[in-house]
Structures are given as C-alpha cells and as structure tokens.
Amino acid sequence: MTALTLGGPPRARSTRRVLPGFNLTLGYTLLYLSLIVLIPLSALVLKTFTLTWEQFWAAVASPRVVASYQLTFGASFIAAVVNAVFGLLVAWVLVRYEFPGKKVVDALVDLPFALPTAVAGIALTALLAGNGWVGQYLEPYGIQLAFNRNGVVVALIFIGLPFVVRTVQPVLEDAEKELEEAATCLGASRWQTFRHVIFPSIAPALLTGFAMAFARAIGEYGSVIFIAGNMPMVSEITPLIIIGKLEQYDYAGATAVAVVMLMFSFVLLLVINALQAWQRRRTGAAS
C-alpha cells in the first residue's frame, strides 16, 4: 500500500519582498534625491553661469571674501583639531570608566545635535562676553573670547565635538583589550601601549571624526554670528558673506561664493567617504 500524502503539493518559496522591487525603489530614490539635492544644486551652478569669468572672479576673490575664506577654513581646522584631541579623551572616559552620572554625560555629548544653533550662539555669547558669567573674569587679564575670531573657534568647537566622540566611541568599545594586556605583560609602558596598540586601531575613526567635524564647521552659521562680532576683514565668516549678498539682491554673486563653498564641501565629502572605506577595510582585515 502506498502511503497517503497529507495535504497538497509543497508551496513554492515566496519571492515577495517587504519593499517594492529594485526598479521601483531605485526610481523613487532617484526622484527624491533629484528633488531634494540635485535640482537645487544644479540651479545654484546654473545661476553662477550668468556671470562672466571676470565677474565670477571678482565675486569670489575680493579681499573681503578671501578674508572670510581664511577665517572660515582656518577656524574650522583649529576647532576640528581641538575636537580630535578632546573628543578622543571624552570617548575614552565614556568607554573605559564607570562613574556616577555617566549616562547624563553621555547624553550631553549629543546636545549640540539637538540644540538649535542660534540658541547655542546666544548661550555662548551670554557666557563668554565681557559681562558674561565667565567672560567677566577673563577680560581683566586681556582674554576675550567673544566678538572676535576666538569666538568663532569656540562656537565651532561646541558644534563639532559630537562628531568625533560618536565616531571614535564604537571603535573603542570593539577594541580587543587582550592586545593591551599582552603588551603590558611584555613590558610596554602605558604610552607605548597606546601608541603602538590602541591608536593604530582607532586612527581611521579619529580621522573620519576630524573630517566630519571640519566639514560641519565650514557650513556653520547660526551659532557663529552671535559670538563672532561679524566685523568685515576680521571676524566675518563666508556664510555671512553669502547672506549679505542675498540681502543686497546680488543673487549671482551669492551663488558664486556658494559654488566655491560647494566645491570644498564636495572634496571633503570624498575625503570622508575614503576614510570610512579605509576604516571598513582595516576592520575587515583585523577580524
């Protein structure tokens, strides 16, 4: 007697996915990116083409604009370097130590992400101005941290710190402590262990955080204008130059300066992507 088969024939494996197919999903992706990113940036570049080369060069290379470039990129670089050092220190403390209020400190790191930049600028000004809570004690010694270039650096440090901490922190959490213990057993000092064991593993993440903080600082506007003083040739950032040209109805000149900033931002984006790819390769090779 042949065995009876209970039920019908086995069902074919379903190939239905949760999201639509590749073609439809790709179409929506390209449409969304075109509306949000590509079309506005294309309009920016096309508006700049209404200028002749002489007009373009006069708009982007005038002494006032060049001074704003120097301040914007110089202050952004200094702030990113400071954040790379102290961001690594903050990430190290949050990963390697337990202390009361650790979760509160960890949450405060993300405060610049959530806080409106204008509020940050007003708060820093109230704190560091000559009559502020901290500034009133520094000004008698000739230390002025508001309404000059120092204020720009302070504001950019404030908004850039989370990028370094949140980039380095997960790498430190995944670091193998056995390697550090082995180095200690072999007689390595703390500095030698950090230099030859820990730092090489976190260097790609630290460089990525540095680049992200640098890129974020270049485009910062809200927190800077309140504490910078906005004096032409002294403490005027490039985004403020663009706003000033727009208020004067010099749309072509504003877009010309914006295109220069766009090119620098695009180069930084390529650098960040290259650093992230390098970090992934190093992580894959280590695993």
Residue 176: predicted pLDDT: 73
> What Å distances lie between residue 274 and 61, 156, 268, CA to CA?
30, 24, 10
Comparing 21 with 244, the larger pLDDT belongs to 244
Question: What would the mean pLDDT of 41-51 be, rounded to a whole number?
Answer: 85
Comparing 264 with 74, the larger pLDDT belongs to 74
Residue 51: predicted pLDDT: 87
The proportion of the chain whose per-residue pLDDT surpasses 90, expressed as a percent, equals 34
Residue 156: predicted pLDDT: 95
Residue 48: predicted pLDDT: 86
DSSP 28-97: HHHHHHIIIIIHHHHHHHHHHTTS-HHHHHHHHSSHHHHHHHHHHHHHHHHHHHHHHHHHHHHHHHHHH-
Q: Are 165 and 91 in contact (CB under 8 A)?
A: yes
pTM listed for this prediction:
0.82
Looking at the predicted structure, is the pLDDT value of residue 224 above 60? yes
Under 8 Å CB-to-CB from 211, ≥6 apart: which residues? Answer: 80, 268, 271, 272, 275
Question: What would the mean pLDDT of 211-236 be, rounded to a whole number?
Answer: 89
Residue 187: predicted pLDDT: 74
Residue 287: predicted pLDDT: 59
pLDDT digits 0-9 by tens, 149-194: 999 999 999 999 999 999 999 988 887 777 777 777 777 777 877 7
The mean pLDDT value of the chain amounts to: 85
pLDDT tier at 4, thresholds 50, 70, 90? very low
Residue 157: predicted pLDDT: 95
DSSP the chain: -PPPPPSSSPPPPP---SS--HHHHHHHHHHHHIIIIIHHHHHHHHHHTTS-HHHHHHHHSSHHHHHHHHHHHHHHHHHHHHHHHHHHHHHHHHHH---TTHHHHHHHHTHHHHS-HHHHHHHHHHHHSTTSTTHHHHGGGT---SSSHHHHHHHHHHHHHHHHHHHHHHHHHHS-HHHHHHHHHTT--HHHHIIIIIHHHHHHHHHHHHHHHHHHHHT--HHHHHHH---TTTS--HHHHHHHHHHTT-HHHHHHHHHHHHHHHHHHHHHHHHHHHHHHHHHHHH-
Question: What would the mean pLDDT of 233-257 be, rounded to a whole number?
Answer: 91
Q: Which two tokens stand for residue 25?
A: 């999903």
pLDDT digits 0-9 by tens, 119-145: 999 999 999 988 889 988 988 888 888
Q: How many CB atoms lie within 10 A of CB 78?
A: 17
Comparing 178 with 221, the larger pLDDT belongs to 221
Q: CA-CA distance, 168 to 174, in Å (whole number)? A: 10
pLDDT tier at 71, thresholds 50, 70, 90? very high
Ordered structural domains, the chain, with CATH: 53-286 (1.10.3720.10)
Q: Which two tokens stand for residue 285?
A: 């090779």
Residue 184: predicted pLDDT: 74
Under 8 Å CB-to-CB from 271, ≥6 apart: which residues? Answer: 211
Residue 1: predicted pLDDT: 47
